[in-house]
Every structure is written in structure tokens, then in C-alpha cells.
Chains A and B, each alone.
Chain A
Amino acid sequence: MSFLEIKNISKQFGGDYALKEISFSLEQGEIHAVCGENGAGKSTLIKILSGVYSSGNYEGSFFIDGNEIHFKNIHEAEATGVAVIHQELSLVKTMSVAENIFLGNEPSHFGIIQQHQIHSTSKKLLEQVGLSISPETEVSELGIGEQQLIEIAKALNKKARLLILDEPTTALTETETEKLFGLLRHLQLSCVTVIYISHRLKEIKSLCNRVTVLRDGKFVATRSVHDISENELIKLMVGREITELYPKSATRLKTELGDGAPILTLINYSLFDSTGKKKIDSLNIEVHAGEILGIAGLMGSGRTELLMGIIGALKGKQEGEILFNNEKVKFNSPAEAIAKGIALVSEDRKRLGLILPQNIRFNLNLSTMKNISSGGILSGGKEMKRTLEMIQQLSVKTNSSETEVQQLSGGNQQKVVIGKCLLVNPKLLLLDEPTRGIDVGARAEIYELMNQLLQQGLAIIMVSSDLPEVIGMSNRIVVMSDGKITGAFSSDVTQEEIMIAATGELIGVQ
């Protein structure tokens, strides 16, 4: 008998099926990946399994240990042993680790919390998840990876038997990811079943036992990870063949356009945060017209700070020189950088890229209102023309330029952010994790676009945690660690070489 059996589950939203007759099952103690493009129905499935959509709001049924389950709410799901670790972590940052682990579940006598019990149990749980921190630590002091482990400790405290992880490694460093995987494998031994949702096919291959693919709300296949290659998996997800994710033209461009005029040169560039801590240490970098400089490195290596520092978005002190088009520059705000022709696509499009309650037209023209206005008054015609052209150029999938960007899929949102930057007519485009959380189809389109931009003579700096992406797209690759450059490679580098450079310094330091 399977531990979890899903039978013919369907869920409609206003006539459209988000899920249609999904059936598959999980064995006890297995790590089971669920993958699919954005909109495939993964989140809807999680919400049904975890009681967010209560029984009766969907069709079909599911069984745990052979018993049919009718969750009325999340609490019932938790009581049954189903716990979800969401992409956006749900810890209270101002409270301690122990308080968070017992949040909503505090042991008490007549309403008075049993501090001692909380402390001792938390300590045990922290050991179990492999964290050597005090239970009294405030969560805000911890990194994302540690917070994730605390989420798991919290789930274990509720005696979770089914752990659902939604894109858990998006924000994790390689070491943190390894630590998480170790923990999951360990939990597997104590018969915890895991549903692992991820875009990262490599991780699925290395961690999971089986993988179920969903596409457009329908079940496609369940396979053992040993019987399926990454390419086959991609094919199942998108339903069409992407023979080469990184467009062929990239290789051609690498040889033909790699040595244009230098666009940006950093000379002994250092950057400090507002507390005076050195985030970037004497960097020397040069980017030429028509090339992509890839920047690899772990989280916290200073990659994002470097991009933000260049455009003047960080408050801290800067040292060294920035030459842009052979002219010495120093930007005090992103506005100044944009005026010169440097545009940044930030790593977090919802937080840093978009005005979510506004429409596509509003967002696309946000940086370039000067060009479509006279005397401070916007020209509706000019604006519409630019907007529609850009929607077409980037093939943003939408019915109208008036659609609020929060209603778009991740890939289309990212296209809007990129479109906003392109309208600036930049000479240098800074891309920070340009394809994070984006489905395979939209990724290919963004890569294609990057190649077109190179042909127009732009220079691109791309920061990415996705090593195949960095290697596949960049002309040259710089690896950062702890604010310093620890490796510079051409595009024939291997992932292992990059990883060694990214971690080498860290090992040396510790």
C-alpha cells in the first residue's frame, strides 16, 4: 500500500482547470520530485494536500496510509503530519529560534508558556537538523539556509510524516543545499516522505527517488530518476523538444564579438556596506561591447552587491575607479546610472523590479518617462506605441498592455522588467539571476533576446547561480568569493572548476 495516494484530483478556477484528474502515489520514505513549468499546477496540488483548499473545494480524493483524507484547514493537515516549507519562509524574524519552532504550538500550563521545555526540545531539534546555534538566537540574525532548516525543525516538532518543500534551494548556497539534502536523506531513513518541488533538474536527479511531471494541470508521467535524463525530463515538462537550451548563436558570438570596445572597467574597485564592512575587495573587471561577462559565486559572495554598487544603489563607501565608455564615473543613485545608459535587472523582480499593483504599460515606461513626456505631461500616444512595440519584441504573453503585472506569470513579469531596462537604450545591461523561477520556454526566449542585444553592441554582465546557464551564455566567466575574484575563465570551463573557485577561498578562510 502506498503512503500517499492521489486519485483523480481536479481543481477549477472560474471554469479553467488548474489541475485535471491528477493521479499518482508516493511510497513511504521516498523523496518524490514534482516538476513542471510555471502554471503546471504544482502549487495548487500543494495547497490541496496541505489543507489550504479545504475538502469539498476540489474534485477527487487522496489517501494517507489508506485512509481517505478530508482536511478542513491547515491545522488538520498539520495534525495528520503534513507540513509545507514554502518558498517564502514564514518565520517571525523578531522572535527567537525556539519561539518560532513552537509558534502556535506552545506547551503551556494555564496559559503560561513552559520556557524550559521549549528550550530543551528546540535544542534537540536543532541538533537533529544539524544546526549548531543557540535556540535563543533571533531569527533575523540567521541566513536563509539556516532559516529553512528551522522551518524543517518546526515541521519535525509537529511530527510531520509528509514534508512538502517548494523550491527550497532557490536562495541557498551550494553548501547549504548539500546540508539540506543530507538532512532530507537522513529523514528519509526515519520514514519521513518528501515531496520535492523544483525547477532544478540536477537536484532532482541527485536527491530524489522518483519524479512526477505535471504539464498544464495534467499528469504527464512518473519515472524513476535513474531511468530518465535531464533532456527527457525537460521534454516531458514542456511537451516539446528543446535540443539546446542555450542558443547556438551564443557560441558563434563568443568568437566574433568578444573583443569590442571596453564598455565598463573597474579598477581596484572596493565597496563597503553601511556598517563599514568590506563587501567587495579591490576588484578589476572589464566588459566589452558585444560580450556577456558571467559572474558566478555563492550567495553572499558579493555578486549582487557588485551590480548594485556599480549603479549607485548602495549607501556604503566606494573606493577605486569605474570607467564607463572610457570616462570616469561615480553614480550616487540608480537614476544617474540609467541616465548614462546602465540598466539593472535585479534578482528579485517582485520586490525590486516591479510595481505590482500597476499594469504592464506603467511598469515598462517607469524609467523612461522623460522620453514620452513634454513639460512633465505624458503623451498617451507615444507611450502606447513604445509599450506595444516592447510587448511584441519580447513576446510578453498578455491580452492587453493594461493587465496588472501581478497577474502575469514569472517569465512574463521578468520580460516586463527587462523591457523596462531596454527602453532606457542601455549600453550596459546588468542581469542578476535573470532566469530565476522562470519556466524553460521563457528562459530560452530570454537567452535568445540576450544574443540579439549582443549583436546590437550591448555589453552584458550576468550574475547567476545556475552554472550551466553561466557557462552556456557567457563569453568570459569571473568567479567571486567573499568579495574577491577567485577565478577567471573562458567559456570552456567545467562546472566543477567554477565550484572549486567559488568555495576555495571560503575553505581557506575558515
Chain B
Amino acid sequence: MTTKSIFKSNSTNIRALVMVFALLAICIFFHIATDGIFLSAANITNLVRQSSIVGILAIGMLLVIVSGNIDLSVGSMVGFFGGIASIFFMKQEISLPLVILLTLSIGFIIGCMQGALTAYLRIPAFIVTLGGLLIFRGSIMAIMKGETISVSNEFQIFGSGFLSRQVSIWIFVAFILFFAITELRKRKTQKEFGIKVSTVTVFTARIISLAALLIFFLWVFVNPQSEIERVPISSPIHVPDNSPLANKPEYFSVNHPTSELVNQFAQVDDKAIPVPVILMVLLALLVHFISTRTVFGRRIFAIGGNAEAAWLSGINIKLNTMLVFGLCGLLSAVAGIVYTARLGSAAPDAAAGYELYAIAACVIGGTSLMGGRGTIFGAIIGALIMASLDSGMSILNIEPFYQNIIKGTVLILAVYIDVASKKKI
């Protein structure tokens, strides 16, 4: 679902292909093992929704790891930002757009602060963010005093909402057009410089397979059988009247069986793309673009690849390192909002341990912990692999502790395969 960078090297393509096949193999295995439950429309919908939070975190984590650093605080940040967003919205009664703006800004600033400690004061990122892990978790516990704060339907859209079918179709059409135009432009540039371009057949096949993939997902998302998991029931819901979203129910639908207000939003038979999934995809595309086509992205890869050489080439290491942590903080804030929205409430212990899932997703997706190497596409596939394992093993009723053992093994195996394949080159 992600666009290709303008000129991509072959080794990257092969690695991406291997990861996709690994994901497919896992899916097929679970599909057989679960007697056809795993690849049912309902389960796929669940699975991609589940992977969206780790996916969003992995997008931010990827850039941090590529820059040669690590951020251990993202799980605590998710809890922290989810908590303060729910307080802003439910207790302070700030309007939703402002809540989001505030939360994201604080996320960016806090991320930058951690980045500044790493870049300017030269405290290792491992230590700064390990401290952050404790500080943010402790802070949100202090602020919320151990309480759980439920959020209203309007807020829950970000976690449990769906786009309507019509909007979904338009989005998918836009995706295909966007992909086709990007490919065409790439071909044009390549021709201009006498680089071998793929044949028209291959080009057409790519567009068609993307379209097929999107139609498949559309079918999955709109399939009437796709019963959506129940979100925890929250306390009476409060929607500020002045919220712009409150007046535009036709764009969103929320699955919230107990609420009176739901009928206002929900047209149960008009649900298509889950909101957190589209959020993850859009963020992935955006950050993919940043990492491959912008000066900032280039600098991050240069810094992670060889910081000294990057500095001598005129790159401001400190500023860019700080910003990459800022971006990770910002994405943690997005994940915090989605997480709270999905559960319908903010709890002080929310998303504990998620930093490890985000790191694992990046690493499974072929990101080098030494820095300088990694792709957004890989990180998302990594997140999907983690979610598939979760989902498949849960359907099979495998005990949680065995699940952890298996996930840990897969992580180590993935890195081994990566290391082993690099040795041969």
C-alpha cells in the first residue's frame, strides 16, 4: 500500500519481498490451523485494526532507529498522551480539534526534549528514554490518580470509527491514481536519464495488483459478516455541541452498542475502512515520503549511516537528531489518542510494553539497530507480522505465556535471517 521510492535498489526490493512472503506464510499457516477463521473478513479487519497502534509507533520508532538511536519511552508516552488527551477533552471540556492539536504539540515538544538531552547533552538515548519510560508513566499515574477516564463517542471515532463506504471507495480510487501517477513520473524521470524502465506489462500488472489488493480490503471491510470486536463500555457520553464532528455524522460511524448516541452516528451497514487503519496508512505514506524524498529524511539516514561523515558533509547532527525524537513523540501522541479512543477510556497503565512491540516491528521489518538502514514498508509489515502472530495464537487459544515465548523466538529468528543474508553479500 505504500508508494515506491523514486529509485530503489534491488537488495531493498528483495528484502521487502521476503518479508511479505513471511507474512503470507504466517497467514496461510494460521488460516489452516484455525479452520478458516484467521483469514475471515472479520478477523482481518480486527487484525489490521490491532496492528494500527503498534504500526503508528513503529513508524516513529523507525526514524529514531535509523538515526542510530532508540526510544524506549513510546509505550509510556502512549499512556501519558492518551491520559492527558482524555483529561483535556472530558474534564477540561476543550473542543476535540484543539485537544488533538494540544496533545500532538505536547508530544512533539516532549519528544524534542528527549532528543535534546540525547543530541546536545550527549546522554545516551537508551538512558534518556529509559528515564522517560519511568517519568511519563509515573507522571500520568500522578495526574490521573489511578483513575480510568472514559471518553465519549466523538473521541472514540479515532479508535473504533469507520469511514463510510462511499468515502472509502473514493479514498481507494485516490490511492490507485496516486500510485499510478507516482509510477508514471518515476518512469518518465528514469527514461529521461536513460535508466532501464520496467515494461508496460509489468507497470500495468503493478497497478492492477494494487487495485486488486485494495478491492480485497474493501471487500473485507464492508463484508456484512465482519463483526467488530466490542469496545469496553464507557460512562455516559459527553459530546460538546460545538464540535464540528458532531454535525457531520455521515462521514463516520461508531460501533458502540450501548450508547444512545450511537444511532446518530452509526449506520451499521455502511462501515468500511477503520479510522485507525487509514490513519496508520496515511502516516506511513507521509513518513515514507519524508524518509525518501526530503532533505530531513536523507539527513537522518546519513547520520545513522555514518555520523562523522555526515557532519563533515555539512549536516547538523544535533538539530536533526532532536527533530527525529520530536517526530517520534508526535507519533506517540497520535498512537495515544488512537489507543484511548479504541478502548473508550484512558487508563494510567495503558500501552505498557508497547515500545518493545514497536522496536520488534522495526527489527522484524529489516531495520538495522546500528542505524542507517530501514524502511517504513518493512516496519509496517513487521507490525502486521506481530499482530498476525497475536491474533492467530489467540484464536488457537494458546496461553499468553506461550505466545510471548513464540513472539520472542520469531523476533530473534527474524534478526538472524537478516544477519545471515547480509553475510552472504
Contact = CB atoms under 8 A, between A and B. Distances in A.
A367 B313 contact: yes
A404 B305 contact: no
Given A355-B305, A369-B298, A384 B293 contact: no
Interface string B294-335: 111011011001101111111110000000000000000000
Contacts, number: 98
Interface string B5-29: 0111101000000000000000000
B308 A352 contact: yes
Interface in A349-385: 351-359, 361-362, 365-367, 369-370, 373, 376-378, 380-381, 384-385
Contact of B302 (A346, A351, A358, A388): A358
Nearest to B289: A377
B193 A358 contact: no
Contacts of A362: 298, 301-302
Contacts of A402: 7-9
A77 to B, nearest CB: 21
A361 B302 CA distance: 12
A338 B308 CA distance: 15
Contacts of B311: 313, 333-334
Contacts of B312: 311, 313, 334, 344, 346, 352-353
Contacts of B302: 355, 358, 362, 366
Interface string B350-361: 000000000000
**Residue picked from B295, B299, B313, B372, most chain A C-beta under 10 Å:** B313
B189 interface: yes
B9 A369 contact: no
B192 interface: yes
A420 interface: yes
A283 interface: no
Given A356-B305, A357-B305, A380 B293 contact: yes
Nearest to B8: A402
B189 A377 contact: no
B294 A377 contact: yes
A380 B7 contact: yes
Interface in B356-392: 368, 372-373
A361 B301 CA distance: 13
A230 B286 CA distance: 59
Nearest to A339: B314
B315 A378 contact: no
Contact of A334 (B11, B295, B296, B314): B314
A400 B11 CA distance: 14
A335 interface: yes
B294 A338 contact: no
Interface residues of B, number: 32
A250 B297 CA distance: 42
Nearest to A370: B295
Nearest to A385: B193
Contact of A378 (B298, B305, B308, B314): B298
A358 B192 contact: no
B8 to A, nearest CB: 8
A382 to B, nearest CB: 10
A344 B302 CA distance: 17
B7 A358 contact: no
Contact of B295 (A333, A355, A378, A404): A378
A381 B192 contact: yes
Contact of B193 (A337, A352, A353, A384): A384
A494 B103 CA distance: 71
**Residue picked from A335, A370, A385, most chain B C-beta under 10 Å:** A335
B301 A333 contact: no
Contacts of B189: 380-381, 384
B181 to A, nearest CB: 14
Contacts of A404: 9, 11
Contacts of A369: 295, 298-299
Contacts of B11: 404
Interface in B73-124: none
B355 to A, nearest CB: 25
Given A344-B312, A366-B310, A359 B9 contact: yes
A384 B188 CA distance: 12
A508 B74 CA distance: 61
Interface string A398-441: 00111110000000000000001000000000000000000000
B9 A366 contact: no
Interface of A: 311, 313, 333-335, 337-339, 344, 346, 351-359, 361-362, 365-367, 369-370, 373, 376-378, 380-381, 384-385, 388, 400-404, 420
Given A381-B192, A384-B7, A402-B9, 12 more contacts: A334-B312, A337-B314, A346-B312, A353-B309, A356-B306, A357-B368, A366-B298, A366-B310, A369-B298, A377-B293, A384-B189, A385-B193
22 contacts: A313-B312, A352-B309, A353-B309, A354-B309, A355-B306, A355-B309, A355-B310, A357-B373, A358-B372, A362-B298, A365-B298, A366-B313, A367-B313, A369-B299, A370-B295, A376-B296, A380-B293, A381-B189, A384-B189, A384-B192, A402-B8, A403-B9
The 10 closest A-B pairs by CB, nearest first: A355-B305, A335-B314, A338-B314, A380-B6, A366-B313, A369-B295, A367-B313, A402-B9, A355-B306, A367-B314
